[in-house]
Structure 1
């Protein structure tokens, strides 16, 4: 701790050793003052300068929160032997009461906090004739702020580049240290206040009155929130505010889907479309087929009935997903089918597959009817040719 030493010379003319009724008092009770602010404390003694003798001493002692004692004003020639830019001492008379010792803080610092004792004592035998005390509490801003996201180490300043993480749920911890009184701490996800958090406040190990506030919450990163930011904001009573922001980018994983286009003729019954899905260790929530216009990138335009979908397990990670079409309608050839694999984190992987008309169908008849209906006619035609021969 920096030593602060002030001396006040109280030279008096009348002997009052052992004189009863000696009183001392501070003009203020306990006070709170902002860090770097200004403050004046005044101690009154109910004697005039002429009433005191050179055997009587007035001193002001600072008792720090760590039980260290330091005399900031004491007997001797009036001088500022250390840090004159931060303190000032003035001695004057107070008509009707006695002597006033003014101790002025030109710029309050953290170590100025403590209990101050104004004391009158005799130099010859150190007998204390009277004393009074008051406390100075320094209001402090947040000194340090940390943000911890997931298993990564805490950061104390905002990042510009996003951190890449897997989709999922992550703990977020915000820690504000050094303020008095405890700071108000909030967590934000993309600018929105996270309400469901736990808050813990305790006094720090420092001998000064400083607090640590820890706020813990969770954020869930899914495919729809593949990028964004988490932010920790701390605000002290003084009105100062600090923040730490961490942008993130969710690493999205897709299931591997392989589909083979299928051929059929219009009106054909029980047409089967199949795709193989490899989840690659990802947790699959559901699979389904959809029918959409082949030029559209939207899904869900025409969701096919679930009972038309069957699944065959091929291995621990692979399945074959069948779609059975009761009849190959004409619209199926004009559209495309899409297999949608939804993972448990909400991400959906899509793969298109087409149904094409069987090559050569309809070139002779132009009717687009069922080719099986032409088989008897063909047989009669060949029988007629054989009869002519």
Structure 2
């Protein structure tokens, strides 16, 4: 159980890029990082492309005005001159800026925590991975939902053979908030998401389903995709060539099959984020709307519902529990869990503690690159007429 006691020697000196007043994700970063006040201390920020608005925002969250910077380059240069300068930075900006800012942060000697999808191409990911290794720094990716501890319960039960050999993987992340184009025209946070120059080669595949894809890999770390087929649509025509709905069929190396539906035009749907894993003995199912519950079904036996924080759960699951079984946890707690693991990873990297890094389960640079490569394959499949794409190292082939 987590109760706020320190896991590292001192809080890390932390800065933010983006995540200001108009951001949809900035508050999630801050509540995640600062939930355990022993892990991070927010000291600096370049919160907004509008420098004055960013400074005003920083002051309104009780920041030192002199450390509210007009842009990230100014922040890196100024903080490098301070004895108490930042040592890690979170990037909560539109997708098209991630690569440049991450590279600049690493070259400035900073650890990086970045929004997803990490970059536009896997080649950029490999370049940044090499740079991070050269600089001895961590790059983490904020797959925020993955901090839900019941996912670790699923991982443990699959490893223990509770559902047998995996046969079917059913993934879904849908909502209906973009069923029309109103937000595309009125919301700054939405406008860039449907602009290929800023969002990259996809909309909902990158914005939504990379979360679910990573979560499936977290749950089933030994399950690798052999080939996939993606069919994507732009039901709101102005979003083309970016999709607002997509279906992905996947074949795994062990013979299992998978299906993913991602959509922002699932009209009326408030929370369609589900994962179901079907094995030869039984099945596991998790739904974000009831994130503290896990359904376990064994063929021929009564269905069971496991409840978060109960003593019958695996130790790896309960290690991330915070509030006790009587009280509901949610997305802010999941973000807090991954931010705490980012802090532990950064601290371990600083101390050259490779053993801790090897055993720590968190979304690292490799997870980020894997997510990019999955998007690349989906886009390649869809753009070639929804054909199967064979996954072979870095160069997927059409089949």
Q: TM class, shorter-chain normalised?
A: under 0.3
TM-score by length of 2: 0.19
TM-score by length of 1: 0.19
Higher relative contact order (CA 8 A, sep 6+): 2
